[in-house]
């Protein structure tokens, strides 16, 4: 009986074993991640409802905030439920197809969030620096010019990255040392040459996330300069913009550390690497509703009115 050599076997099913080094303490991670997941789902759902149901919040800025809330609602759904099941019940199996779909969803939505932050920075630039031309610049036909190229860039790079990963043969092992299908966590299990995959992954990280961050920073520098020249008329915008930059910086740094940790020699443990990955994927979904929702005066007032109306008209049993 002829036995196929090991290198000709390609696994089609995998196990996600994130945080396995914690041993018996691993299930205790369920509670904090479940609470963060619940917060992200609840806060973003409320924000979407408020923006959709109140015509006063249908201006371009609030529509962009609503789109961000939709992305922040979808992002955790791609990986947190599977991660929670794995932590609590050790249900860690996933097919190659499911892994690739999860990979595409995580990376495409993540890059779309980055690009959306750039569009929001453009909105603030037109509103503060060119207020007389704001409505004209933010009209759909004009704004689409700023949308088409980044979306095409994101789609091409992410589709290429996932397609190349799907063509590899995985014969080393079917155990993924991660809580979800991050690109390099899967690709490093391949038994062939992964140099092209490595290069495309780095291109996606630097041509999308880093480029958007640089463009956003330039936009805010111009906004700050305009505010300081004009006096105190837009000083409230400074506080909001600084908060945006801090969150974006932390997200970018954690994302780049997660990407580079697979490519350079380092002493980052497996659990720390996974936590850093969760930091740039899940934490923004919890923080964005606070930054773009509660700290925005009009949305905060609308939410408080919604709460007061709910108290006035209690649900009848």
Indicate the range of 21-25, 67-71, 74-78, 250-254 predicted with least confidence: 250-254
- The strand pairing partners of 15, in sequence order, are 93, 175
> Which tokens hold the place of 313?
């008209």
- pLDDT greater at residue 80 or residue 260: 80
* Of 209 and 264, the one with more pLDDT: 209
- Would you place residue 235 in the very low, low, confident or very high pLDDT band (cuts 50, 70, 90)? low
Q: Is the pLDDT of residue 3 over 60?
A: no
Nearest residue to 124 via CA among 194, 211, 28, 218: 218
pLDDT band at 307 (very low <50, low <70, confident <90, very high): confident
Taking CA atoms, 211 is separated from 45, 154, 159, 215, 286, in Å, by 30, 12, 19, 6, 24
pLDDT computed for residue 6 by the predictor: 46
pTM of the full structure: 0.86
| Mean pLDDT, rounded, for 188-198 | 89
| Calpha distance 46→42 (Å, rounded) | 6
- Count, residues in the chain: 317
Question: What's the pLDDT at 138?
Answer: 77
Task: Give mean pLDDT, residues 170-176.
Answer: 86
Q: Is the pLDDT of residue 232 over 60?
A: no
**Domain segments of the chain as ranges:** 12-17+28-302
The rounded radius of gyration (Å) of the Cα atoms in the chain is 22
pLDDT at 216: 86
* Cα distance between the two ends of the chain: 72
CATH number of 12-17+28-302: 1.20.1070.10
Q: 234 φ, ψ to 5°?
A: -125, 30
Model pLDDT, residue 260: 74
Sequential DSSP letters for 258-274:
HHHTTTS-----HHHHH
Cα torsion through 117, 122, 123, 127, rounded to 10: 140
Q: How confident is the model at residue 24 (pLDDT cuts 50, 70, 90)?
A: confident
312: confidence class by pLDDT, cuts 50, 70, 90: low
pLDDT of residue 106: 92
Tell me what pLDDT residue 74 has.
Answer: 94
Q: What is the mean pLDDT of the chain?
A: 83
The rounded Cα 291 to chain-centroid distance in angstroms is 15
Higher pLDDT, 231 or 38: 38
pLDDT beyond 70 at 316: no
Strand pairing partners for 303? none
pLDDT higher than threshold 80 for residue 236: no
Q: Specify the pLDDT at position 70.
A: 94
**pLDDT at 287 exceeding the cut of 90:** no
Dump the DSSP string for 148-171. Answer: HHHHHHHHHHHHHHHHHHHTS---
Please check the confidence at residue 186 and state whether its pLDDT lies above 60: yes
| Distance between CA atoms of residues 160 and 91, nearest Å | 30
Instruction: State the pLDDT confidence band at 5, using cuts at 50, 70 and 90.
Output: very low
Residues 6+ apart with CB under 8 A from 159: 104
The yes-or-no verdict on residue 135 having pLDDT over 60 is yes
Answer whether residue 2 shows pLDDT above 50.
Answer: no
The 10s digit of each residue's pLDDT in 103-112 is 999 999 988 8
Residue 317 has pLDDT above 70, yes or no: no
Higher pLDDT, 35 or 231: 35
pLDDT, average across residues 119-127: 84
Q: Is the model more confident about 128 or about 17?
A: 17
């Amino acid at each position: 009986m002829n036995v196929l050599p090991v290198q000709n076997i390609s696994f089609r099913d995998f196990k996600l074993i994130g945080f396995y080094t914690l041993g018996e303490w691993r299930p205790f991670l369920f509670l904090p991640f479940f609470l963060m997941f619940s917060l992200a789902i609840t806060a973003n759902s409320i924000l979407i409802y408020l923006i959709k149901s109140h015509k006063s919040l249908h201006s371009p800025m609030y529509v962009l905030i609503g789109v961000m809330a939709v992305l922040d609602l979808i992002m955790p759904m791609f990986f947190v439920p599977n991660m929670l099941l794995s932590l609590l019940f050790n249900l860690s199996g996933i097919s190659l197809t499911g892994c690739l779909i999860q990979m595409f969803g995580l990376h495409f939505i993540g890059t779309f969030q980055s690009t959306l932050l750039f569009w929001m920075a453009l909105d603030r630039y037109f509103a503060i620096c060119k207020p007389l031309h704001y409505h004209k610049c933010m009209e759909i036909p004009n704004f689409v010019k700023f949308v088409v190229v980044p979306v095409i860039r994101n789609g091409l790079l992410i589709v290429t990255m996932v397609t190349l990963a799907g063509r590899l043969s995985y014969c080393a092992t079917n155990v993924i040392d991660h809580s979800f299908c991050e690109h390099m966590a899967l690709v490093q299990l391949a038994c062939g040459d992964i140099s092209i995959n490595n290069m495309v992954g780095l291109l996606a990280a630097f041509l999308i996330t880093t480029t958007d961050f640089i463009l956003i920073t330039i936009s805010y520098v111009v906004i700050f300069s305009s505010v300081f020249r004009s006096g105190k008329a837009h000083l409230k915008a400074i506080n909001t913009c600084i908060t945006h930059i801090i969150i974006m910086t932390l997200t970018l740094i954690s994302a780049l550390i997660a990407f580079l940790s697979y490519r350079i020699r380092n002493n980052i443990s497996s659990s720390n690497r996974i936590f850093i990955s969760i930091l740039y994927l899940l934490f923004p979904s919890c923080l964005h509703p606070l930054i773009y929702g509660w700290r925005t005066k009009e949305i905060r007032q609308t939410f408080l009115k919604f709460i007061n109306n709910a108290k006035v008209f209690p649900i009848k049993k």
